[in-house]
Structure 1
Amino acid sequence: MSEPGYLRTLRIPGVLPVLAAGTLGRLAFGIVPFATVIAFATTHGFLIGGIASAGLMSAIAFLAPLRGRLTDLKGPRVLPLLAGVHILLVVATTLALGGAAWPVALVLITLAGATAPPIGATVRTCWSRLVKDKDQLQQIHALDSIVEELTFVVAPLLTTVLLAAVTPRWVLPIGALLLLPATTGIAWFAGNQRAAAVAAGEDPAPAGRRRSVMRLADGQGIVIPVLTLGAVGGGLGVLLPALADHTGNIGSAGYGFAAYSLGGVVAGLIYGRLRWHASLRRKYVIIAACFTLGVALLIPAASTALTLPAVFLAGASMTPMFVVGYLLVDERIQPAQLTEANAWLGSGYNIGSAAGSALCGLLVASLAPTAVAAVFTAVAALGVLGALRIRPLSPATHARPAQSAPETGPAPDAPREVALSKETS
């Protein structure tokens, strides 16, 4: 097996264009939610701004697997169509905000979230088809995760610049328009890959109705750890400001958020180059256990000088968990369901984050910080149990499942025996 560096991985034909298009699309998804809050708040107050943001983000998160399933069924050509509808709804929202019809604007922005194209999930599916070497595949998933994190750092800064130049509500369509070149580029490259795979007999077109990814034991085992990761991240979004408030400087919570994200970036860069000879299932269980240990360190460290190091260590599991999760998707999930499965990872994190924020908001009002940290340690431990739902592969089935005929009834979850060309996330 080769020992490629990041630069060598980026030289694989198609990788840079897909990464660039994906980054452009993610930039749009960083601008639109931020601009939504500002646009609604400046015209109708922060209560309406919060409701608008909740509607947009909930529609994006809860319906992402459905849009991923649609992309698997219809092919990547559906992405520009979804983007077009999304943009029209965003423009309609902007126009509605110009008058007194804010309830209509709320409905429109929620519908816009429901039609957001699954950019990230489709990009991850592209890596599964573009990159054949398992070490390079691990690296591109790690690099993609880091670029995604950095994109969501740049997006608020760019939005701030745009807000200073134009009326807040018009920042919405400016951000959404970035989806047109992004989805067109991804659809073109992904469509070529899909056509080549079908011609080679590697990726048959989906046929008939299939069981949802979340009805499979492997699907549940892949998503549950990311769900708990999101829950802890959402909880920290409330706990860290609460801890900072006890010191009389709530603004210092930003250091904790930075430490959590920095832990993920540093660990991601290291993990992308790491050669760890273990099954993906074992790696996932170990990473989930390390995440639980990192969160547990917050129990004695809460409200002390050790809070930042503990948060950094907890965050260090974030990128490696996503990388292995995406690799497991490619190893365990049918080729015709890859986009849906990848979408479930993003949705799982976002849904968990919302639940974790709400839970922590309830807990900090009645419990000491150490007790809150203990509750979220237990939540993190559920991720280990979830990872154990993934069944070990026997030596004869150390491969990704093959495409099967349409299911007419309950089917076994066991992966088919086919040649393994790559490990996937």
Structure 2
Amino acid sequence: MSGTTRAGSYRAVLLLPSALRTFVPALLGRLSYGLLPLSLLFTVQSSTGSFATAGVAVAVFGAASLSMPFKARLVDRFSQRRVLPLLAVGASAGLVVVATVGTSAPAVLLFVGATGLLAPPLGPSMRSNWRLLTDGSALKERAYALDAVSEECLFLAGPLIAGTLMSIVSAPAALCGSAALMLVGTLAMVTSPVTTRTAAPVAVAGAAARLGPLAIRGLRRVLVVVMGAACGLSMAYVCVAGVAQRAGHPGSAGYVEAAIALGSVAGGLLWARRTHTGPWTTQLAGLIAVLAAGLVVAAFAPGLLVLGVVLGIAGVAVAPMFVVAYLAADEVTPPHQRTEASTWINTTNNLGSAAGAALAGLVVDRSTPTWGFLAGGTFLALVALAVLRRPTGGRSWLRRGGRLGPGRPGGRRR
């Protein structure tokens, strides 16, 4: 049976030793990623005169983010204080070059790609810090919820700040602002005492050494679930755009997406008010089922206003889903691999989102957004059912509390 108990307060989380000292600079650095897409798009368009090149530049930066798990592996091995400043200096310098040096499209794309390869993994690093800060307490789930909600707010505020800077100054100025936030936030975060700590490595060889936490079957299963959920949710965003376009109000899609984000913030805050004691599988399946139901109902929404309300309510499951996924990843991986494992959740989320957007685009082009919502909802329902499926032998996919079924906890299975 799953259940809940009362969790500690957010105040208790922030009053942990070095918590504010670490978290506030991390938020500052992570805000740079909220400003970056819009400011990069218009900066490259301005310097090259081509929206096509600008779109490719944003895609190149996103593709370069696939290197994030390998940078996180360096952080796990050598500590945040030794790795993150080097990455931040290189990435911020790359953004400044793109913003200030007018050059040809190939050169711009080269600089953007190099910048993406150097972009520091600030989110996974902060979650690693939360694990250390909450060690010995029952506050980790609440800390993760606070982190997820804050990140959602950053990606709501980032485009607004970027748009304001572009209106008052210019797109290159907004991109330089993103570079400054990244550099200052990172350098300030790594001065916190907690960022010097590293977990004792475990000697492994062969494929396990090359794959890192991906060699752990329990983590791979969590990642498959995250990718499936991201795919279904991404289909909803494309379908929202399709509905808005057909209604003759394409800009309204942004308001509906904001409603989803606000629902996610509310869901994260409400979720962390309790400590959830049930199996991770039950929690993930339930949250994904909420998203599935929301997409099915959205298929029959009579207008954009109702659509925003429906998807805003369904959005309450988004932030909690990531909190549960991060906690599950922690349980099935050893301490010296948890930053990288957390980064793989972000990476598979991005891959799933890309696949979902492509699939939904095909559905909307060939039929209507209604069928796209129904396809996404059906897919999410199948993912939820698959999470609860019992493999051969009758043992659950993960044990109560998120540990692997057959085998020992902590990701020791090879």
TM-score band, normalised by shorter chain = 0.7 to 0.9
- Out of 11, 21, 24, the residue aligned to residue 15 of structure 2 is 11
Matched pairs, number = 395
Matches within 5 A, 1:45-64: 45-60=50-65, 62-64=66-68
Aligned-partner Cα distance in 2 for 1:190–1:124: 15
- Out of 130, 150, 168, the residue aligned to residue 147 of structure 1 is 150
Aligned-partner Cα distance in 1 for 2:385–2:337: 24
RMSD: 2.7
Aligned-partner Cα distance in 1 for 2:408–2:383: 22
- Out of 405, 408, 411, the residue aligned to residue 415 of structure 1 is 408
Aligned-partner Cα distance in 2 for 1:354–1:365: 17
Q: Which residue of 2 aligns with 1:128?
A: 131
Shift in alpha-carbon separation, 1:233–1:305, aligned structure 2, 3 A: same
Shift in alpha-carbon separation, 1:87–1:258, aligned structure 2, 3 A: closer
Q: Which residue of 1 aligns with 2:277?
A: 277
Aligned-partner Cα distance in 2 for 1:338–1:79: 16
Q: Which residue of 2 aligns with 1:187?
A: 190
Letter in 2 for 1:392: L
- Out of 100, 105, 114, the residue aligned to residue 102 of structure 1 is 105
Contact 1:266 1:316 survives alignment (8 Å) = yes
Q: Give the superposition deviation at 1:167.
A: 4.0
Aligned-partner Cα distance in 2 for 1:180–1:369: 41
Contact 1:216 1:413 survives alignment (8 Å) = no
Q: Which residue of 1 aligns with 2:245?
A: 245
Q: Which residue of 2 aligns with 1:20?
A: 24
Task: State percent identity of aligned pairs.
Answer: 28
Q: Secondary structure at the match of 1:297?
A: helix
- Out of 153, 167, 171, the residue aligned to residue 168 of structure 1 is 171
Letter in 2 for 1:140: A
Say if 2:87 is the partner of 1:82: yes
Aligned-partner Cα distance in 2 for 1:276–1:335: 22
Provide structure 2 residue ranges, at least 5 long, that are not aligned to the other structure: 390-395
Aligned-partner Cα distance in 1 for 2:308–2:95: 39
Q: Which residue of 2 aligns with 1:310?
A: 310
Shift in alpha-carbon separation, 1:157–1:116, aligned structure 2, 3 A: same
Q: Which residue of 2 aligns with 1:406?
A: none
Provide structure 1 residue ranges, at least 5 long, that are not aligned to the other structure: 196-202, 402-411, 419-425
Q: Which residue of 2 aligns with 1:223?
A: 223
Aligned-partner Cα distance in 1 for 2:403–2:20: 26
Give per-residue Cα distances to partners, 1:94-135, cap 9 Å, x unaligned: 344x24x22101111011111111000010111111113664
Shift in alpha-carbon separation, 1:57–1:46, aligned structure 2, 3 A: same
So what's the TM-score if we normalise by structure 1? 0.84
Say if 2:120 is the partner of 1:114: no
Matches within 5 A, 1:329-368: 329-368=329-368
Q: Secondary structure at the match of 1:392?
A: coil
Shift in alpha-carbon separation, 1:208–1:172, aligned structure 2, 3 A: farther
Shift in alpha-carbon separation, 1:191–1:66, aligned structure 2, 3 A: same
Letter in 2 for 1:414: G
So what's the TM-score if we normalise by structure 2? 0.86
Instruction: Point out the more displaced range, 179-188 or 77-86.
Output: 179-188
Give per-residue Cα distances to partners, 1:194-225, cap 9 Å, x unaligned: 26xxxxxxx31354553433343211222223
